[in-house]
Amino acid sequence: MNGMLTLRDKLEAGMFAVTGELGPPRGCDGDVVRKKAGMLRGVVDAVNITDNQTAIVRMSSIAASVICMQEGVEPVMQMTVRDRNRIALQSDLLGGAALGIRNVLCLSGDHQSFGDQPGARGVNDIDSIQLVYTANRMCNGKKILHSEEQLVSAPDLFIGAACNPFAEPKEFRPMRLKKKIDAGARFIQTQCIYDVHAFREFMKKIVDMGLHKKSYILAGVMPLKSAGMADYLNAKVPGVVVPQPIIERIKGVPKDRAAAEGIEICCEIIDELKNIDGVNGIHIMAIEWEHRVREIVERAKLKV
Amino acid sequence: MIVAELKLYDEIKSYLEGCSSVLVAGCGSCTSICHSGGLRETESVASWLRSDTGMKVRSIIIERQCDNEFVAEIEHVLSGVDAVLSLGCGAGVQMIAEMYQGIRVYPGLNTKFVGTTHDRGIFIERCRSCGNCKLGSTAGICPLTRCAKGLQNGPCGGSENGMCETGDGRECAWCLIIERMKAQGRLDELYRFTEPVIWSGQVPGRYNWGIGVK
């Protein structure tokens, strides 16, 4: 944590914020989380702790978030609606808040067929927007879903949601973002951006709709490690588009220079994103590359 | 209709081990239409069992296995029968088992879904019997059935070229909904927040005592 300023404090004070990402391990070794947290401490304002990302069983987001806090890193607890029903989700919002977690990111989650438990029953009792609504009702309405009774001690979470400006149907994306913000999302982290032009067009619509005044938007970036990764993202990751010139650029350098080129590209993208109207911060998704985040933040002059 | 598919023969055979007389009961309704429990399938299963085992195998088609009046009509063929192999849906299996409680009843089919005929011999899922139909608000396309995540407030970030991120060949239900609502001039209706589904209509056992009009 950066002095006494939380992610929320910074954004509410109109300061530019930077968030990172940390994937909990497939195992119960808390030191893995501690080590990664150490690489991000003082580098970013807060760190998203993924929730069984790609539907692979991992240490829980809530536990890894608490370990992060012990290491002096402010977590953003990710929470998908894939694995828990509304009872468990609300219970974990209360439990997370009791443990000191301040931020929650409400997500649909990758479909269970992608992971190591394809036979699992996806819960999807409520959807991601309904989770935002539920969390907001709890924090600001001080009520549990379907109940009019006032909570004696309601949590005060900073509620976030994700947005993919590049997924189809594109015309619906700004409206879907509006639905999330209207439901109570105070900050938004976007899918990783490689096509800055397309994102700029998207942000124009968001600004026209006045959504940037109701929520803090953090533009997502993911450094490319290799040309293969760029191809993989294009081919296999739904809703992620790496434009051809970027692929050619990374293919144009020797293999051992590809990662450095990827970081260079990432820094250039951040540089452009910083100056787009309505963008309040950068969300750096560098899973299993936590040790390179400092370099990105420093080179992109994202002073935290 | 209720769509079901025939189990693998080895599974069926494993249920009937030790039996000496079996009745294969097809169903004249849904499973006939979806070619899993009609006359042809019933005769094939009966003849496999006859030629492959030493069992005495008879077969019959029950007009509707889910209707006690029709199921009552098979009483005369049940004497000496050790087991009934039902080629009805799960409701049919249970109707027979309930009416003839001294006889073992085995399912010959896997009941899959409530669906429609898409093409000859191709059936697609269209309803999950949630018990709280809201199809009017999504232009007649059910997101609970057709979206892999059952989303109720629009598409997730994974739709691409109109297809679902699962990559299992299904179309993105929300892309279809948006397109049809747009064609009907109703896109703005999708901008409204949809509250959490009340699933109590789908709780197991919810309708055990029955619903209907007298």
* Domain segments of chain A as ranges: 7-299
Whether a cis peptide bond, with omega within 30° of 0, leads into A25 is no
DSSP SS3 for B113: strand
Q: What is the pLDDT of residue B213?
A: 63
Q: Which fold has domain A7-299?
A: TIM Barrel (3.20.20)
CATH number of B2-112: 3.40.50.2300
A chain contacts of residue B195, beta-carbon cutoff 8 Å: 130, 133
Distance from CA of A86 to the nearest CA of B (A): 9
CA-based nearest residue in chain A for residue B171? A168
C-alpha angle with apex B174: A195 to A206, nearest 5 degrees?
A: 40
Binary contact (B149, A134; C-beta < 8 A): no
Binary contact (A176, B155; C-beta < 8 A): yes
Q: Cα(A273)–Cα(A262) distance, rounded to whole angstroms?
A: 16
Binary contact (A122, B154; C-beta < 8 A): no
| A43 interfacial to chain B (CB closer than 8 Å) | no
Q: What is the pLDDT of residue A1?
A: 44
Taking only the tens place, the pLDDT of each residue in A21-80 is 999 999 999 999 999 999 999 999 999 999 999 999 999 999 999 999 999 999 999 999
Q: Cα(A199)–Cα(A279) distance, rounded to whole angstroms?
A: 11
B chain contacts of residue A171, beta-carbon cutoff 8 Å: 178
Q: Cα(B148)–Cα(A238) distance, rounded to whole angstroms?
A: 14
% of chain A at pLDDT higher than 90: 94
List Cβ neighbours of A93 (8 Å cut-off, separation of 6 or more).
Answer: A79, A104, A134, A135, A138, A155, A157
Binary contact (A172, B157; C-beta < 8 A): no
Within 10 angstroms of residue A106's Cβ, the number of other Cβ atoms is 30
Question: Is pLDDT above 80 for A188?
Answer: yes
Pick from B151, B159, B197: CB nearest A167: B159
Q: Cα(B110)–Cα(A211) distance, rounded to whole angstroms?
A: 49
Q: What is the pLDDT of residue B201?
A: 75
Which tokens is B194 given? 């949809």
Q: What is the pLDDT of residue A237?
A: 83
Distance from CA of A2 to the nearest CA of B (A): 32
Binary contact (A169, B193; C-beta < 8 A): no
Cβ atoms B43, B53 nearer than 8 A: no
Taking only the tens place, the pLDDT of each residue in A211-221 is 999 999 999 99
Burial class for A171, CB neighbours closer than 10 Å (0-12, 13-18, 19+): exposed
Phi, psi of A183 (to 5 degrees): -75, -15
What are the residue boundaries of the structural domains of chain B, listed by start? 2-112, 133-202
Question: Is pLDDT above 80 for A3?
Answer: no
Q: Which of the 8 DSSP states describes residue B102?
A: T
Binary contact (A238, B150; C-beta < 8 A): no
Q: What is the pLDDT of residue A2?
A: 45
When pLDDT is cut at 50, 70 and 90, the band that residue A133 belongs to is very high
Q: What is the pLDDT of residue A287?
A: 80
Q: Cα(B69)–Cα(B71) distance, rounded to whole angstroms?
A: 6
Distance from CA of A198 to the nearest CA of B (A): 16
Pick from A86, A162, A178: CB nearest B157: A162
Q: What is the pLDDT of residue A304?
A: 64
Which tokens is A68 given? 């992060």
Q: Cα(A232)–Cα(A241) distance, rounded to whole angstroms?
A: 10
Cβ atoms A53, A107 nearer than 8 A: no
Residue segments in chain B with a per-residue pLDDT below the cut of 50: none
ipTM of the complex: 0.91
Residue carrying structure tokens 């490319």: A224
Distance from CA of A241 to the nearest CA of B (A): 10
Binary contact (B199, A125; C-beta < 8 A): yes
Q: What is the pLDDT of residue B214?
A: 57
Distance from CA of A279 to the nearest CA of B (A): 20
Q: Cα(B74)–Cα(B172) distance, rounded to whole angstroms?
A: 45
Q: What is the pLDDT of residue A286?
A: 94
Within 10 angstroms of residue B169's Cβ, the number of other Cβ atoms is 7
Cβ atoms A57, A117 nearer than 8 A: yes
DSSP SS3 for A247: helix
Cβ atoms B148, B156 nearer than 8 A: no
Q: Cα(B87)–Cα(B80) distance, rounded to whole angstroms?
A: 20
Q: What is the pLDDT of residue B205?
A: 74
